[in-house]
Structure 1
Amino acid sequence: MRSNPPVLSTPDTVPDPYRWLERNDSPRSARWLAERDAEFRAAAAAWPLRHALAADIRSLLSATQWSPPVRRGGLLFATRRDGGDEHPRLVAVDPSGRERVLFDPAAHDPSGATTLDAWEPSPDGRLVAVQTSSGGVERGALRVLSTATGEDVEPAVTGVRYAHVAWLPARCGPAFYFVRRDDTDGRRGVWLHRVGGGADTLVHPCHAARTVPGVRLRRDRWLLVTESHGTGHSNDLWLADLAASPPEAPLLRPVHVGRDIESEADVGPDGLLYLRTTHGAPLRRVCAADPAAPTPEHWREAVPEDPEAPLDGFAVAGTAEAVRVVCSRIRLGISELRVHSPGGARPARAVPLPGEGMVTQVTAEPDGTVHFCYADVATPLTVFEYRLDGVPEPWPPSAAPAPRRPRIERRALECVSSDGVRVPVTLFAAPGAPPGPTVLHVYGGFGRPRQFGFSATVLAWLRAGGRYAVAHVRGGGDLGRAWHLAGAGRHKVRAVRDLVAAADFLVAAGECAREELCLSGGSTGGLLVLAAVARRPDLCGAVIASAPLADMVRFQKLGLGSMWTREFGTVADPDDFAALLDYSPYHRVLRSSPAPYPAVLLTGFDGDTRTDAAHPRKMCAALLERATGPAPVLLRYERGVGHGPRAVTRAIELAADAHAFAAAQTGLSPTRRTSAGAAPTAREMR
């Protein structure tokens, strides 16, 4: 007897009983969300550490925080947020030190829903372009303000999302290049905007689908245009000399197009093109080239690759006669900063840092001054000013020193994944904190290395006596490009297995009991923690999944999912589809037998245009259907915010709720706080 061939599932035949929750505006979804809101509020009211954590987080955020300054036309531009402010405000400081507010999101919108997403002053300092958005959608308006008055000088450019802005030199009149990233209106690419000058001019349409354009102008002459290919480690790069072609029709010459290369370019004071690149160096190196012959065949190495530490950022400083390349590298979450002479003419010099932490936003001013930001687990983000022959000094010099923070211990550990690969794990604790309640955090996507900067939330958790661990799973960029690709696409399940191995390791090593472990991740990290407990419901006592991906069969149809096929694969490919369906948390839970899942807290934001709040809504429904036992399944759902920045008060409430949930589920109580983990006393502060 002939048997019937098996029926193969396709994206259209996979059961999806909660697809109706993809619409949050239907009466049925509204009733369902109201029920979840009531459940969450009732549960949260009983969490003992909720108010204490919120108060401690707010206290830890009380220091004034600046962005690195930008000098234009005799003025200094920066953002500043003082303790108690809901948002940073953009200010201009004149040579006498007088500070003037140019844009304050809180004054512009007292509701707190508007955020300042980006800003860039003109070369003469008379104008500044600011991008704002409201409700968390990250798609808003690009406005031009007068530095003298703070008022708009023309109608805003609308429909932009994190638009790069590159002002033309003052001799060209008030004008700038900007980018449109969205496909919604078919105008994705680089545009020229003349202030008060009518319609914008498209100077570079995007050449391929699902690419992200970028633009920079260096040394008032060299136009750099990029197209990043989704989330892969490659981009296309063009260069134009505005001294030889008009701004409306720049002659863009390919540097590298259609090649498996990722580069970020700058032009040094010597007139050479410098590129931080993966060409010939998976962990990146810096190369230099003559702009007249910019293709890779003509590059020469300026700073070699370090085979153990990805090159994260760089800036070209110094003079035409003495160029220096300042490079920041990340060694398993810890940054280092070094000054190199191109080609190794002089030994590299380490820049002293305040501790073991994170360096970001390395920039060089035309006068050779370098600015960078530093933070570590116990030190808030601080701007430093560095002159190449000196010592970094906090900026601004008049800023009050931050209060001394308690000492936090860091241990570098290692676990073995299911396929024998050794996976790094970092563990933080206050001195003397015994084994016990532990948050295990993961991201593991898009090749991004995990950096250990300041988090008031993490520090408050540590001060309360908890422990905090990070699993450097495949899919992240902690060990370079190969580490990312080993956990991307059809191999994403390796990142899930790495996380499972890290959780089992912490329990086996006696760092915490199974019921004292809480997995935590946001966005892609949220996907991994949900996928891990979908495979192993006994893995831990609690899970926090913030704005997660969860439905990997329909992720391309939700939020920005169509941009992420290089990271996750596509359901249009049968092999990719099989891999996606295998680890998709939503589907794995639905096709599994009912089980006693750990306590789960999902967070969702109705303005989220990245991962889309349909993911946590559908995942919550699936868990409520299949979970047995007393552990709660909760959805914390917010309106008027999205995936990105928000008002400080709302950020504090979110962080306190999430970690109070973790405390309640893992047994972290007010009586556990150790003297080492407690806030410094008045005597210790002196």
Structure 2
Amino acid sequence: MRSLLVALLAATPVVAAAWDYPDTHRGDVVDDYHGTQVADPYRWLEDTDSEVTADWVTRQNAITDQVLAEIDTREGFRERLTELWNYERFGVPTVNDDLLLYERNDGLQNQAVLYLQTGLDGKPRVLIDPNTLSADGTVALAGYALSPNGRFLAYALAESGSDWRSIRVRDVASGRDLLETLTDVKFSDIDWTRDSLGFFYSRYPSKDGTFDDLANQSLWYHRVGRLQSEDVQVYARPDKPEWGFDAAVTRGGRYVAISTWRGAEEKNQLFRLDLGDGDTPNFDGPVTPVVDGFVARYDVIGSSEHTVYVFSTENAPRGQVIAINLAKPAKTHWRTVIPQGEETIESVEFAGGRLVVVSMRDAAHRMRVYSTAGKLEREIALPGLGTVGSVAGQADDSTLFYSYESFLRADTIYRTDLNTGKRAAWQSPDIDFNADDYVTEQVFYTSKDGTRVPMFITYKKGMKPTGDHRTLLYGYGGFNVSLTPYFRIHRLAWLERGGVFALANLRGGGEYGEAWHAAGTRENKQNVFDDFIAAGEYLVESGWTAPEHLAIQGGSNGGLLVGAVSNQRPDLFAAAQPAVGVMDMLRFHKFTIGWAWVPDYGSSDDAEGFDYLHAYSPLHNIKPGTDYPATLVTTADHDDRVVPGHSFKYIAAMQHAHAGDDPVVIRIETKAGHGAGKPTSKRIAEAADVYAFLWRYTGG
């Protein structure tokens, strides 16, 4: 494959556009993929820091502002979303002896504030308020861990939505930070040693202040109060530059279980490091394999003395729980605690000396408690079709906290006694919305190849399938991500206006285990698009909507989904909203962490991979003279996960080819990233624009 400098040439649109889109230069870059010549006229837009790209961004945002300004519901959506968003919300607390650490947003704060309180009835105090760290709210708290003795808090900050983190240490009693700041951190957990004197984290080597090459992550130990230059490198594999590392210290403090991951692959290795039984951890011992070879998932759940409890998919594609004694880690000593069942295990928490298992049945959660011997003790009843968002407890305390949500009900935090099963709400949201006026039903439809696919449909009670309801269909379909019924405040504004919301559980996700995931990957990716198209056809055929009233939406891998099906079935949808999408399937692996997605997507570096990627790549399957759905692409200038060049090139190609009267435009957020940590003010503004656009162009 050759790489050429871009010659910027003025482009003449294929057809006369209804909107005065900015002129976008078309270069003469052509790449040779295994003997096939593929033009890439917008290669120059990959340079998102250039002056010419910045000028293009300004001009694109200007035409988008013009389009949005003509929509009369835009301000109404903004006002209603501001009202809806203004409710107090809490995160599930992390419990450390009698200390509760949790996040709280009073309603319209740009960032949630981290609070600490002693006991369930203690008075909370602010430990970290990210809103004070930047004038525009673009610095976010991106992870934290309290030391076992409760004296120190290690916490990570992210700026402008970046995946890069800086880690700092705060003295809990005084509320003041110590001197050290750890940098070059990305895709890292924080786990303390039992002596509370330091913690493990992962970082990348710095390359003259740039981070274009995400390779050679290594595991480090930081001693509190010391400079990062004094940190101890615990484990590195320069011979395996694609490997990444996470550490989990066992409850007794003797061992570190090191998980070795490789991109987004749903397989990892497991190693151990014996820290010794002295007062000071010993990092000189060998790192020895417990699970050698990337054959399945092995996720450490928790530990009891020398034993670690591990979620595994080896010979169990729907998941199982095993126990491994790190003092005798040979496989012959492993014990199966909870074998694979009919349901897919979503998560497991070790709390109160028990295993709390969240599983899925037809994409909705169930919650059960097992002994460490594998005996079912009880099922924790959930209010309905919904999602257990987070579970937290202590290894030796029977109090368990967890959150529950659904399409219509925001996170409620529950407190349950694992000994008795008694449950009470710890924090309940109070939203200006009557959920009882709406209903969610689950349906099953048939995809192109006969596969039975579940879908949730939410609407106002009493609505009948009359064929004329504005309907928003959402999907993802990738990376083993399961879409269970989860709450998003902005969807309420859509429902209140009489809209219908549907979510399809496409192949590529994890709803039915690894087989369901694999059926939507690599050469099977077309199954995902077929599933989504069949969902749209079902909504039309069952009378809920019609093509002129149907909108589709998805983000990241879901943005790829929306782009692909817009190309394949432009007649089926009135409007499309691909957010931060992976649109150039021939070059995605060349940017930031894109190489890590090859296990799901495949790669154009391989001849077979090129064939199936080129067949559906959203950028490469836009056809001149086609009447495409009204399209609002959203991305951000600081997205360092799915770089904005994907969306830039895609919308340039759409504007060049589109033959319809409805707009195809892009909304480019500034000082924002892939989505995490985005300030509330930006979330409201973006949601108002998106929903006003979709409402306008599903009006028929």
CA distance in 1, matches of 2:137, 2:380: 39
Q: Return the offset for 1:203.
A: 0.6
**Which residue pairs with 2:382 in the alignment?**
353
Work out whether 1:654 is the aligned partner of 2:683: no
Work out whether 1:205 is the aligned partner of 2:229: no
CA contact (8 A) 2:251 2:305 kept: no
Q: What's the CA shift string for 1:620-654, capped at 9, x where partnerless?
A: 01010111020110100111000022111111111
**CA spacing shift, 1:70–1:249, aligned 2, 3 Å:** farther
- CA-based RMSD of the aligned residues comes to 2.3
- For residue 360 of structure 1, give the secondary structure of its aligned residue in structure 2: strand
CA distance in 2, matches of 1:247, 1:402: 52
**Which residue pairs with 1:573 in the alignment?**
606
**CA spacing shift, 1:608–1:369, aligned 2, 3 Å:** same
CA distance in 1, matches of 2:497, 2:516: 34
Q: Return the offset for 1:275.
A: 1.2
CA contact (8 A) 2:167 2:183 kept: yes
Work out whether 1:374 is the aligned partner of 2:400: no
CA distance in 2, matches of 1:266, 1:275: 5
**Which residue pairs with 1:339 in the alignment?**
369
2:346 to 299, 305, 312: 312
CA contact (8 A) 1:133 1:140 kept: yes
Work out whether 1:280 is the aligned partner of 2:315: yes
1:564 to 597, 600, 604: 597
Of stretches 186-195 and 546-555 in structure 1, the one that deviates more from structure 2 is 186-195
**Which residue pairs with 1:421 in the alignment?**
451
CA distance in 1, matches of 2:441, 2:527: 24
2:197 to 174, 179, 194: 174
Of stretches 71-80 and 432-441 in structure 1, the one that deviates more from structure 2 is 71-80
**Which residue pairs with 2:582 in the alignment?**
549
**Which residue pairs with 1:674 in the alignment?**
none
CA distance in 1, matches of 2:698, 2:621: 25
**CA spacing shift, 1:210–1:154, aligned 2, 3 Å:** same
Letter in structure 1 aligned against 2:380:
V
Q: What's the CA shift string for 1:286-332, capped at 9, x where partnerless?
A: 1223333334443222112222x3211111233xxxx4211001223
**Which residue pairs with 2:670 in the alignment?**
639
**CA spacing shift, 1:11–1:647, aligned 2, 3 Å:** farther
CA contact (8 A) 1:438 1:512 kept: yes
CA contact (8 A) 2:150 2:172 kept: yes
CA distance in 2, matches of 1:269, 1:85: 40
Work out whether 1:261 is the aligned partner of 2:261: no
1:519 to 552, 569, 572: 552
- For residue 377 of structure 1, give the secondary structure of its aligned residue in structure 2: coil
**Which residue pairs with 1:604 in the alignment?**
635
Letter in structure 1 aligned against 2:347:
G
Work out whether 1:439 is the aligned partner of 2:472: yes
- For residue 293 of structure 1, give the secondary structure of its aligned residue in structure 2: coil
Letter in structure 1 aligned against 2:315:
G
Work out whether 1:26 is the aligned partner of 2:60: no
Letter in structure 1 aligned against 2:565:
A
Q: Return the offset for 1:562.
A: 1.2
Work out whether 1:94 is the aligned partner of 2:118: yes
- For residue 582 of structure 1, give the secondary structure of its aligned residue in structure 2: helix
- For residue 517 of structure 2, give the secondary structure of its aligned residue in structure 1: helix
**Which residue pairs with 1:677 in the alignment?**
none
Work out whether 1:452 is the aligned partner of 2:481: no
TM-score (norm 2): 0.88
Q: Return the offset for 1:48.
A: 2.9
Q: Return the offset for 1:162.
A: 4.2
- For residue 132 of structure 2, give the secondary structure of its aligned residue in structure 1: helix
TM-score (norm 1): 0.90
CA distance in 2, matches of 1:117, 1:50: 31
**Aligned positions of 1:28-107 closer than 5 A:** 28-72=52-96, 74-95=98-119, 97-107=122-132
2:515 to 482, 488, 491: 482
- For residue 314 of structure 1, give the secondary structure of its aligned residue in structure 2: strand
**CA spacing shift, 1:290–1:25, aligned 2, 3 Å:** closer
Letter in structure 1 aligned against 2:174:
T
Letter in structure 1 aligned against 2:244:
V
Work out whether 1:508 is the aligned partner of 2:541: yes
CA distance in 2, matches of 1:122, 1:344: 30
Letter in structure 2 aligned against 1:180:
R
The aligned length equals 650
CA distance in 2, matches of 1:150, 1:12: 61
Q: Return the offset for 1:336.
A: 1.1
- For residue 445 of structure 1, give the secondary structure of its aligned residue in structure 2: coil
CA distance in 2, matches of 1:476, 1:244: 43
Sequence identity percentage = 30
**CA spacing shift, 1:547–1:168, aligned 2, 3 Å:** same
**CA spacing shift, 1:257–1:230, aligned 2, 3 Å:** same
CA contact (8 A) 2:88 2:430 kept: no
- For residue 156 of structure 1, give the secondary structure of its aligned residue in structure 2: strand
5+ residue gaps in structure 1?
A: 1-6, 669-686
1:531 to 532, 539, 564: 564
CA distance in 1, matches of 2:35, 2:402: 47
CA contact (8 A) 1:256 1:295 kept: no
CA distance in 1, matches of 2:273, 2:552: 48
**Which residue pairs with 2:180 in the alignment?**
155
Work out whether 1:224 is the aligned partner of 2:254: no
**CA spacing shift, 1:142–1:499, aligned 2, 3 Å:** same
**CA spacing shift, 1:144–1:12, aligned 2, 3 Å:** farther
**CA spacing shift, 1:640–1:267, aligned 2, 3 Å:** closer
CA distance in 1, matches of 2:108, 2:551: 31
Letter in structure 2 aligned against 1:574:
A
- For residue 386 of structure 1, give the secondary structure of its aligned residue in structure 2: strand
CA contact (8 A) 2:110 2:131 kept: yes
CA contact (8 A) 1:333 1:358 kept: no
CA distance in 2, matches of 1:267, 1:416: 40
**CA spacing shift, 1:648–1:240, aligned 2, 3 Å:** same
**CA spacing shift, 1:267–1:470, aligned 2, 3 Å:** closer
CA distance in 2, matches of 1:249, 1:464: 64
Q: Return the offset for 1:343.
A: 4.3
Work out whether 1:623 is the aligned partner of 2:654: yes
CA distance in 1, matches of 2:303, 2:315: 22
CA contact (8 A) 2:297 2:312 kept: yes
Q: Return the offset for 1:267.
A: 3.9
CA distance in 1, matches of 2:188, 2:627: 46
CA contact (8 A) 2:189 2:202 kept: yes
- For residue 663 of structure 1, give the secondary structure of its aligned residue in structure 2: helix
Q: Return the offset for 1:367.
A: 1.8
Q: Return the offset for 1:79.
A: 1.5
Q: Return the offset for 1:259.
A: 3.8
CA contact (8 A) 2:411 2:429 kept: no
CA contact (8 A) 1:225 1:237 kept: yes
- For residue 54 of structure 1, give the secondary structure of its aligned residue in structure 2: helix
Letter in structure 1 aligned against 2:667:
R
5+ residue gaps in structure 2?
A: 1-30, 206-210
Letter in structure 2 aligned against 1:94:
T
- For residue 625 of structure 2, give the secondary structure of its aligned residue in structure 1: coil
CA contact (8 A) 2:276 2:282 kept: no
**CA spacing shift, 1:467–1:264, aligned 2, 3 Å:** same
**CA spacing shift, 1:24–1:403, aligned 2, 3 Å:** closer
- For residue 154 of structure 1, give the secondary structure of its aligned residue in structure 2: strand
Q: Return the offset for 1:507.
A: 1.3
**CA spacing shift, 1:384–1:181, aligned 2, 3 Å:** farther
CA distance in 2, matches of 1:348, 1:304: 15
Q: Return the offset for 1:29.
A: 2.1
Q: Return the offset for 1:159.
A: 1.5
Q: What's the CA shift string for 1:221-242, capped at 9, x where partnerless?
A: 1322111222222111123343
**Aligned positions of 1:586-605 closer than 5 A:** 586-589=619-622, 592-605=623-636
- For residue 380 of structure 1, give the secondary structure of its aligned residue in structure 2: coil
Of stretches 257-266 and 207-216 in structure 1, the one that deviates more from structure 2 is 207-216
- For residue 44 of structure 1, give the secondary structure of its aligned residue in structure 2: helix
CA distance in 2, matches of 1:489, 1:187: 26
CA distance in 2, matches of 1:41, 1:663: 16
